[in-house]
Amino acid sequence: MNEQALISVIIPIYNAETYLVDCLNSILEQTHNHLEIILVNDGSTDNSLKVLQEYMDKKQDKRMKLFSIENSGPAGARNFGLEQATGDFLMFVDSDDTISSDLLEVLLATLKGDDELAMCKFSKDFKRVGEGNRKEIFQTQSFVESVKQMYSPGFASAGPVCKLYGRQIFKNLRFPDIMMYEDAAISLQVLSIANKVNFVDYCGYYYRFNPESLTNKKVSERNFAIFDKTEIVLDFVKEHHPEALKLAQTICINDNDYVMLECTRDKSDVSKKLFLQLFEKNKELSKNLGMRKFVYLNSGLLRLGLKLMNKIYYNDFVRNNLKKVLGV
């Protein structure tokens, strides 16, 4: 059945002219070729649309479907793509990333129903892409175990990429209309809906560190959406999985720490304001989390520590070992 399954690959595109062809080539080269490739040009102001049109004219591949919409941000673009998708399974790929040629085939082989989820590992180091035995290493049906495993080293945690979703998971679920962090806002909801989650030992996704991408640009007012994200996550867990509340709080604290890390890159007033507000939020969230609360005793010391961390965090080895230390 899976060999004939249609996979909808949804690619939101905003000002991605530099790496777009690499991304599209990696999709067209998939060994599982029963695909519909939904290209959502999200109001790009560079040559992305021209690159897309020229690429489609050259390839003449009917699996590609191009849509142009007014700029709506990642959430709006992905939601638009979901409305167009007709596949049995879904995958999101960012327009500056690439995937291994057999990734869809490998993930699909682990799924038996359209209410299941499979995920692979990723790397920002292209040399590591392709590593792993391509075998399922963990299967979960418990919400708490799924969350812990998703946040284990190598996996994409809250990101929507690196995952093959059964269509039923997004039957009623959509990305929230917030300025940023819309993916992290629903990542736990995805795990809750999935009947089964399969984790595969395969680094099949190359996450390109692009300084021009939205999440890597300088801190701005958009980043204050992190508070909306935290509220969505914790409200959901309190209502549906209260047994996982401390785990969810830890995840939100870690997310906040990452944004605080970003805040140490510049000296703008917006960065300083956001850093202090996140510091206070983490002080509140960590009250009942044992030793973690001691991290938030002095904002100046924490800023200094995060500034030093900035120099090494983007190394895969450092980031994965930090995950082990933090527990998620």
The rounded distance, in Å, linking the Cα atoms of 273 and 193 is: 36
How many distinct structural domains can be found in the chain? 2
Domain limits at 173?
2-206
Mean pLDDT over residues 181-192, rounded?
97
Q: Determine the residue type at 140.
A: T
The pair of structure tokens assigned to 190 is 């995805």
Q: Among 149, 177, 206, which residue terminates a domain?
A: 206
Indicate whether 10 pLDDT > 80.
yes
Both 126 and 53 in one domain: the answer is yes
Indicate whether 157 pLDDT > 90.
no
CATH code of 201's domain: 3.90.550.10
- Is 229 contained in some domain? yes
Mean pLDDT over residues 101-119, rounded?
97
Q: Give the tens place of pLDDT for each residue, 25-42.
A: 999 999 999 999 999 999
- Is 62 contained in some domain? yes
Indicate whether 313 pLDDT > 80.
no
Asked if 7 contacts 34 with a C-beta cutoff of 8 angstroms, the reply is yes
Both 223 and 202 in one domain: the answer is no
Indicate whether 323 pLDDT > 80.
no
Both 300 and 171 in one domain: the answer is no
- Is 213 contained in some domain? no
Nearest CA among 40, 117, 50 for reference residue 79: 40
Both 63 and 26 in one domain: the answer is yes
The pTM (predicted TM-score) of the whole model is 0.91
- Please report the beta strands in 31-175, taking only residues with DSSP state E, as ranges in sequence order: 35-42, 64-69, 89-92, 98-99, 116-123, 136-140, 163-166
Q: pLDDT above 70 covers what percent of the chain?
A: 92
- Is 211 contained in some domain? no
Both 190 and 222 in one domain: the answer is no
Both 125 and 237 in one domain: the answer is no
Residues in the chain: 328
Average pLDDT along the chain: 93
For tokens 């284990």, name the residue.
Answer: 152
Nearest CA among 216, 219, 218, 232 for reference residue 178: 232
DSSP structure class, residue 17: T
Confidence of residue 273 (pLDDT cuts 50, 70, 90): very high
Indicate whether 324 pLDDT > 90.
no
The rounded distance, in Å, linking the Cα atoms of 162 and 45 is: 27
Both 197 and 229 in one domain: the answer is no
The rounded distance, in Å, linking the Cα atoms of 255 and 268 is: 21
Both 31 and 59 in one domain: the answer is yes
